[in-house]
Amino acid sequence: MAIYLEFPRLDKAFPYRCIENDGSILTTPHWHKEMEIIWIVKGKVNLGVNDQPIRFLRIGSLLCYWKRCRC
């Protein structure tokens, strides 16, 4: 599967975007310089960061990822 670099067009007055996924859409591997916050509100998610699998993200899990910082 190909990995691509995202260049989102953000409004300078409000430089954020929110994407809601109910699980019916597969998100392809991607890179971007912006922070990404993933909050699980229903079900569970399997994902990976930097080719490392992250498991057991369930309801209430919160993942914040930004360049070299994971919290």
Using alpha carbons only, what angle is made at residue 19 by residues 54 and 42, rounded to the nearest 5 degrees?
A: 55
Residue 22 · residue 35 · CB < 8 Å: no
- Give me the sign of the Cα torsion angle 39, 23, 51, 5: negative
pLDDT at 46: 81
Residues 9-36 have a mean pLDDT of 82
Closest CA to 66 of 19, 34, 29, 39: 34
Quickly state the pLDDT bin for 68 (edges 50, 70, 90): low
pLDDT at 1: 55
pLDDT above 90 as % of the chain = 1
Q: Which amino acid is at 28?
A: T
Quickly state the pLDDT bin for 2 (edges 50, 70, 90): low
pTM above 0.85, yes or no: no
Domain boundaries along the sequence of the chain: 32-71
Please, is 68 exposed, middle or buried when counting C-beta atoms within 10 Å of its C-beta (0-12, 13-18, 19+)? exposed
